[in-house]
Amino acid sequence: MSGTIIDGIAIGKVIREEIKERVDLLKEKGCVPGLAVIVVGDDQASHTYVRNKQKSSVEVGMKSELIKLPATVTEAELLEHITKLNEDDSINGILVQLPLPNHIDENLVIRAIDPKKDVDGFHPENVGKMIIGQRAFLSCTPYGIIKLLERTNTEIKGKHAVIVGRSNIVGKPMGQLLLQRDATVTYCHSKTEDLASFTKQADILIVAIGRTKFITAEHVKEGAVVIDVGMNRDENGKLCGDVDFESVKGKAGAITPVPGGVGPMTITMLLKNTLHSAEQACIAKNGSEQ
């Protein structure tokens, strides 16, 4: 028996249609949501991600601004661009595509973005607010996974969620968001001893490690919901996840494919965060009758 395949493309499409409707409403009030994306250097993967983000923002009716900077740009020059975008009322969301060249301090760059325009949810102010349960921009990938779980009516409360990976952008915030929804959360990482003994306990297993097909049926409890965040290339150059889909799909109750699972949700949540920012800015501009 095979588990349900969680279709991130279809769920993302529905949410984007909802976003577009709200963008149209904002436009009627004279407010056009604007997303600015800064990309530094020539990394092909970064340029592909940025193109997809731009295309998606335009599709929901947002204004999109792309700033391409050479790999030789100085930290000061990059910060100057961010300051200008912070002050630009037509821009509601600012995203700096990571990674940045080694001579630029990523943390400094993230902190330079106005937290009200930090639609990636990486600024320490947003991360801190998220942890204490205040309204904040949420990191797009974990936020997208929460939406996948909600829209597939996956019970979170009281369930044991095991997160493999503890990065600042995926693993750590993922656990916090599940904790807020009353899951019991276990974090695993590269120093975890006997990984399978933890993952086998998971009702919800979220894997974000960046290792091709690392999680197999042996790591998974019968009927578990398995969310694969990984985006890797296999030996044939084909996109694949951290979970060995073929081996796990027969055992899982539900599973996300790669591609077509978490990826489309990450971009969708970027648009949702930009929409939220634009709605707040529009209220501030037009008054509370909005």
- For residues 35 and 76, the answer to whether their CB atoms sit within 8 Å is no
Catalytic residue among 117, 118, 120, 249: 120
Position closest to ligand NDP via CB: 167
The answer to whether 195 contacts ligand NDP (rule: CB under 6 A) is: yes
Binding residues among 220-279 for ligand NDP as defined by CB under 6 A: 229-232, 262-263, 266
Instruction: Output 6 or 164, the one with its CB closest to ligand NDP.
Output: 164
Member of 81, 116, 147, 166 binding ligand NDP (CB under 6 A): 166
Instruction: Output 163 or 282, the one with its CB closest to ligand NDP.
Output: 163
Q: Quick check: is 203 catalytic?
A: no
Which residue's structure tokens are 């006997």?
Answer: 194
Rg (alpha carbons) of the chain, rounded to whole number: 19
Strands (E), 159-236: 160-164, 184-188, 204-207, 225-228, 232-233
Question: Taking Cα atoms as reference points, which of 111, 224, 80, 210 lies closest to residue 159?
Answer: 224
The answer to whether 190 contacts ligand NDP (rule: CB under 6 A) is: yes
Q: Quick check: is 157 catalytic?
A: no
Q: Which stretch binds ligand NDP (CB under 6 A): 9-17, 28-36, 51-59, 191-199?
A: 191-199
Question: Taking Cα atoms as reference points, which of 67, 102, 100, 71 lies closest to residue 82?
Answer: 67
Nearest-10 crossing angle of helices 8-28, 44-59: 50
Give the integer Cα–Cα distance in Å for 18 and 25: 11
Binding residues among 122-141 for ligand NDP as defined by CB under 6 A: 141
Minimum distance from residue 66 beta carbon to ligand NDP (Å): 20
Give the integer Cα–Cα distance in Å for 188 and 190: 7
Instruction: Output 81 or 171, the one with its CB closest to ligand NDP.
Output: 171
- Name the residues that contact ligand NDP, by CB under 6 A: 141, 164-167, 169-171, 188-192, 195, 208-211, 229-232, 262-263, 266
Active-site residues: which are they? 53, 97, 120
